[in-house]
Structure 1
Amino acid sequence: MQRLSQKDLIDFVETHAVHFHALDLDGFRTWLSRRIEESLRQPYFAQQCRIRELKREHRRRLRDRERRLEKAADAYAQVPAREQIEQLEHKLDSLGQGVAGLTKAVAEGRAEPEKLAEFEGRFEEATGQYRQLVASTPERKRLDRARASLERLRDEIGLTDAETELEALGRRQGKSSTASGTHFETVSSSATHQLFLPELVREGDQAHVLHGVTLGCARGELDQVVVVRRAENVPVEVRAIVEAKRNINDLAHGFRQRQENLAWFAGDASGYDPALYRTDRYPEGHFQGPVTHEEEGQTFLFDTSSFESITKDAESGWRLDHLCFVTERRPLLGVGMAEHGQILNRVATDPAFNIDSKAVLGRYRKWAQRMVEPMQTEDVLALYARRDDWARQIVFA
């Protein structure tokens, strides 16, 4: 783990800053080309692109059958029998689940066969009613044919299988992200105990590192809070807040959110919208202590005075003192990862995307630069680089 000096942080920002909003068309093309090249190594994005190309290749046939389906659906929506058909479909679904559950229960000796027979009879009766009603409703038959025609085409061109594979990849990717996040929480906790705690605690202090502190806040959870007990039944003193951001490009989002949260905890109504913080506990939307946090069998008391050490810098207007971040050294992208995901998802799912078209690229650039937040990680790191003590609040794990 590396705790940065002011020079380290200045050098990192100067070397890696992207300044996404300043990119011209050529710069945006270079940036986007690199992002696509890197993302194609990820199975999920690569599969999205394969699906996009399938849709592009068979665009006319797909659109023709989709239009037929839309037209059939519009016609069916006007049919008086539609509501009754849908009610029967819902009834059949419920009865089908009941038959399946009772079949298992009878096999295990937990239900009487007569009960199963009753459900089977009701299911058969409802099925007959349903088939008769559908057979006498030509609009529903046309809808079913249009839906089946589209499904056959999707099967024929491999789109159904490709989307099934995409869903499986998404589940695997989600599990991997969760595991990585859990591991980094452990890493950041080690950084807090090894690097921050020794400098924050004085002889005789009763210091504790608390985790997942909300205090009933509707819009935030503090990853780690270093507190010191001042006296019995007296609110604790917050010595530092340590936020874990595994991906450095998410640091700006975390910083912006914590600025709002800290204004709320400090009772600075100019820094948040009370309407967003209204809960049963805080009906007016303002933090009111005392309130407790429970951890490891102990109770910790907080009120607005607990956060007095997290002061607002007079020059910049930001709360920087004792707001620390643990992150990984990675290339800066100039955008947050949620924003990066939106851009790449649009690229991967837009059949009209063409990076060699100036018109298409221009539209993408205009949209992306409007969508991306003005303050990004390089801007936050530049703030911390103004003073050495602030720079030392950034740790590369």
Structure 2
Amino acid sequence: MSAVSQCARGVASVRHSPRTQHQKPRRLSAKVAHRPELKHGFGACSSRGRFVLAAAEPSRPVAPTAPVQQEAEEEEKADVTEKTGADQTDSETLRLEGWGKCRHSMKANETVTILLTKYNWKGFSAKCHGITGFIPFSKMDPTNLPVEGSKDAVDKLKALLGTYLSVKIVHAEVGAERLIFSQLAVKNESVMKELNPGAVMDGVVTNVTDYGAFVTLKGSDGQISGVTGLVHKSELSWEMVTVTSSVVKPRQEVKVKLLSVDRDSNRISLSIRQCMNDPLTVNLDNMMPAMEDGNIAWQDSGETLPGLDEICSELRAEEGVLLVTPGRQAEVSKVVSQDLQIFMTKEQVFDGFNLVARSGNKVQEVHVATDMSREEMVKALTKTLQRVSK
């Protein structure tokens, strides 16, 4: 067998020259190395008396050179960046469109639908037009919420997740990413349509300030409606009020009379005192027209209370009024209001009616001679007071 054939089969053979007595025998070594240029079998080479057997690997694609590979990687990165940038642009466009819809709905006072997604101890996060907003518990219909402190409160809140609510958008600020919803605003809208001045309703005091108290009205079902009105300090009591909190407290249930309803601005004026009997009026009804109450010291002063002359002059101009005459004055122990007020007594005298003017702790009788009925006299007096107050 030839030397080449032996190499091809992985066997190396070397003919050594004669060695001297003291020479150590040379050691043959063989090393197997991978050679990419060989496709099959083994190759052999020699270096300083050594043979190296090279085992070839199966054929495989040739790796690109460094510049080509770098260029390919940069193109791939550019494609990814371009695609990511396009996605971000589309996402930003959708976000701005969502905010635009939210702001339009708020300005148009439209009712929108939201999806409750999660909750915390203040309220629910919710989705509207693809934008995440927040609805506080204080702006939700209390009939939908669990009782505070109840054992199943968490379960009831979890049950609301994934449900839809009809709400109004009450705040939409794009820069601050602040979107606030109110379910009560929808309920208030329907309740406001049913309110009429003069109606007497039940309510709960929600806030007390120096100038009055805010009362949330109850609906016909006895539930809190969410509609809130203001009871001015002067309408809290027939007594003079200096400290509002001395008359009403938060969470106190009260009965109120609707004085005015402004549906455009959602402002309601209420009165607590007009749902109570005026203690002075009760006393006046008892003493008029006889004026014989021993607790009242009547006297002829020859003067009129401040502002009474103008009222008497205007009342004389009413058709059907024959004569208006200020009468006696007296002082009472209770100070109700420093403003001048006019009252009619329940009894009709032979030639007309007796009125009573009140300012501070002073009262004064006023006699009106007329042949009008009581209803006609009330209308004439109301028109007179309206003209004077303008």
TM-score by length of 1: 0.22
User: Which is richer in strand?
Assistant: 2
TM-score by length of 2: 0.22
User: Which is richer in helix?
Assistant: 1
